[in-house]
Structure 1
Amino acid sequence: MTAAHSVTVVGSDTRTVDCAPGQPLLDAFLRHGVYLPNSCNQGTCGTCKVRLCSGSVSAPEVSETVLGADDQANGYVLACQSTPTSDAQIEVPVDAGSGPRHPLRDLTGTVHEVSEIAHDTLAVTVGIDEPLEFSAGQYIEFVVPGSGTLRQYSMANPPSRPDRLEFHIRRVPDGLATDRWIFDSLAHGHPVEMRGPWGDFVHDTESDAPMILLAGGTGLAPLKSIALHALERDPDREIHLYHGVRHRSDLYDVEFWQSLADRHPGLRYTPCLSREEGFGRHGYVGDVLVDDFDSLRGFSAYLCGPPAMVDAGVKACKRRRMSGRNIHREKYTPAPAGAMVLT
């Protein structure tokens, strides 16, 4: 049997973990409760880059759009894609900061409910036997039955409800996880294999600034978790939620947000339709935000959805003079070809 390799993060807070054969660096560190920056876990965002100081790793070729040629020449690798082939030392970029330290776990859940909430969109509720410790905004990976392939879905429930996880899932045409499993056959009582939690897109509990939440489609899921968590901590928190979709049929949870706003006067809910008029506001969430505010100084923002929507939302926040360090973002991107498979 091949032995595990010892990998050390060098710096002011030296930490060492053992990586099993074939285990990615990121997976090993998070399972030991040791934080490394992470976001997509698919090798497409570059958030988890670390510098290999000594030792060797095995990893697939990385696009220069994710990890630049200079970084690669200087020994940087993606922790989510790199498996050590010897004992090693790695260095985390000094600007990586800190993040959630919830141990990564393998989970088995049971489907409690599958319900259609909008056009080509389902809400899936999964019960788990052992409560999951996570931060509002994080996600879980589902194991697609029969394939071992992983797909990422954000929790929509707050961390205070750790044993019943809620997900919002939009159909992807001919999608391995959606068309060929979740929308096709997933039902009450079915077992679901998962692992998590993952991600650095989380509620900053140290800040009490008024909040802007910009969601595109099912990007509403982690923002629901963040909003509920913030309101649990401060029922009077000022929160402005903008949910952008194309058509009225794509919109969901309208009554939930309207009812929540009735109970929390600091919460304002604004649905935005980009290709239809007659309900809510017409236009993209970033444009509507700019129309509503002359200044966003002192605000914090959380943006989640398609990349174009997130990029436009960031520009809108900065246009209204929000500090860049207060803008948190998560881009929903399609699973890449050759997405990670469990072995």
Structure 2
Amino acid sequence: MGFVVTVGGNRVDCAADQTLLDACLRAGVWMPNSCNQGTCGTCKFRVLSGEVDHGASPLQTLTEEERAAGLALACQARPVTDLEMPSPGPSGRAVHPLRDLVATVLEVSDIARDTRRVTLGLAEPLAFEAGQYIELVVPGSGERRQYSLANTADEDKVLELHVKRVAGGVATDRWIFEGLAPGDRVEASGPLGDFHLPPAADDDGGPMVLVGGGTGLAPLVGLARTALRRHPERQLLLYHGVRGAADLYDLERFAELAERYPHFRFEPVLSEEPDAAYRRGFPTDAFLEDVPSARGWSGWLCGPPPMVQAGVKAFKRRRMAPRSIHRENFTPADALGDPDT
């Protein structure tokens, strides 16, 4: 059984057991989306007519008052009747339809403390934008976990993921760090997320600052490389915040970027385990020390919510326009009662 969902004049067919976001993205109809776990509220919309089942929508993200007022989370809600939804507005960005994938594991390697690089080979290329992510299906559990792509859009047949181990995690401790090996087949879907650059035609080459916490560095790798290829003379600062030097990785990759692009700078920052070779503190504080004014800059933040919140405040303090601040929270799955990331 299925229902017809009208989104700003676009017809989308949605199965009864399918979320509205999944149906829209598979149909190539853009809707804002980020965490896809119901925790961020990015995909909140108003039901103009019809009814939905709110599913597992958390009350802290979608209150009873909001539900009564006709609001819903597209990543959690499923239709129980035909629906009409307003247009979410033009995204101004490319829309790549959501696809199911079967990938082959090419590499699983330790790159830092409790951190692994996983590369996946695809039989057919996946169209995506640098900064987006995919979902992996955890075998035997029915669980799905989100991992950002460290790729540029032209690296569309070998996908690179950075995975941080979480004690007891369904996907990490019990799978990726337990026995995942080259040659294994992995089910996935993607691309997802709105954390990506504007189209090249709208990119004026203005200065950028990117701040990543832990494996929040992953999408910033693709964003930075894409931005520098578009405008090789662009000023671009990339900060990586971690606990200690054992958590740093890909230093050679960033050294090579610095050699190739004269106005690119990579700044590792250690918060808990000092090392004379690196700066001490938090990456957002390092940004405040380095940049007296960020007027005309764009800012990109990816990592734990407290770091992202601190970054937003730091960017605004340096007069960055709010519309130029982009963020991606890495929300652990244990926020929903299941320990993993």
Task: Specify the TM-score bucket, using the shorter chain as the normaliser.
Answer: over 0.9
**Which amino acid is 1:332 matched to?**
F
Match of 2:192 among 178, 185, 198: 198
2:28 pairs, out of 29, 33, 56, with: 33
Q: Distance in 2 between matches of 1:298 and 1:222?
A: 22
Q: Residue in 1 aligned with 2:71?
A: 76
Greater CA deviation, 173-182 or 195-204?
195-204
Q: Is the 8 A contact 1:35 1:99 kept in 2?
A: no
CA distance in 2, matches of 1:331, 1:178: 19
CA distance in 1, matches of 2:45, 2:320: 30
Aligned-pair CA distance for 1:204: 2.2
Q: Matches of residues 159-238 of structure 1 in structure 2 within 5 Å?
A: 159-205=153-199, 206-207=202-203, 208-238=205-235
Q: Which residue of 1 aligns with 2:86?
A: 91
Separation (CA, whole Å) in 2 of partners of 1:58 and 1:68: 14
Query: Any idea what the Cα deviations from partners look like across 1:225-278, whole Å, max 9, x if unmatched?
Result: 101111222222221001110100011111110121111111111110112131
- Pairwise CA RMSD: 1.5
Question: Does structure 2 retain, via aligned residues, the 8 Å contact 1:140–1:195?
Answer: yes
Counterpart in the other structure of 1:305: 303
SS at match of 1:54: coil
Q: 2:336 and 2:291 mapped to 1: Cα distance?
A: 41
Equivalent residue, structure 1, for 2:336: 337
Look up the match of 1:9.
7
2:293 to 282, 292, 295: 295
Q: 1:125 to 1:61 in 2, by over 3 A?
A: closer
Measure the CA separation in 2 of the matches of 1:269 and 1:123: 20
1:119 to 113, 116, 122: 113
Distance (Å, rounded) in 1 between the aligned partners of 2:180 and 2:164: 14
- Kindly state the Cα deviation for residue 329 of structure 1 after the two structures are TM-superposed: 0.4
271-280 or 309-318, which moves further after superposition?
271-280
Question: For 1:86, what is the secondary structure of its paired residue?
Answer: coil
| Aligned residue pair count | 333
Change (3 A) 1:106 1:53: same
How far apart are the structure 2 equivalents of 1:68 and 1:38? 19
Matched, 1:257 2:251: no
Give, in whole Å, the separation in 2 of the partners of 1:84 and 1:112.
39
Match of 1:53, SS?
coil
Aligned equivalents of 2:215, 2:24: Cα separation in 1: 29
Q: Return the alpha-carbon distance in structure 1 between the equivalents of residues 3 and 150 of structure 2.
A: 36
Give the deviation of 1:93 after TM superposition.
Answer: 5.4
How far the C-alpha of 1:285 sits from its partner, in A, is 0.5
Specify the alignment match of 2:53 in structure 1.
Answer: 58
Q: 2:38 aligns with which of 28, 38, 43?
A: 43
**Counterpart contact for 2:56–2:76, Cα < 8 Å:** no
Give secondary structure in 1 for the equivalent of 2:130.
coil
1:310–1:329: 8 Å Cα contact kept in structure 2?
A: yes
CA contact (8 A) 1:35 1:98 kept: no
Q: CA deviation digits over 1:285-325, x for unaligned, max 9?
A: 01010011110111001100011111111111111111111
Please name the residue that 1:150 is paired with.
144
User: What amino acid sits opposite 1:334 in the alignment?
Assistant: P
Is the partner of 1:213 in helix, strand or coil? strand
Alignment match, 2:238: 241
Structure 1 runs (4+) greater than 3 angstroms displaced: 61-64, 96-100, 336-339
| Matched residue SS, 2:47 | strand
Q: TM-score, normalised by structure 1?
A: 0.94
Read off the aligned partner of 1:234 and give its amino acid letter: H
Which runs of 5 or more residues in structure 2 are unaligned? none
C-alpha contact (below 8 Å) 1:273/1:279 kept by paired residues:
no
Following superposition of structure 1 onto structure 2, how do residues 267-286 of structure 1 map, counting pairs within 5 Å?
A: 267-275=264-272, 276-286=274-284
Tell me, what secondary structure is at the counterpart of 2:219?
Answer: helix
Gaps spanning 5+ residues in structure 1: where? none
Task: Give the secondary structure class of the aligned counterpart of 2:36.
Answer: coil
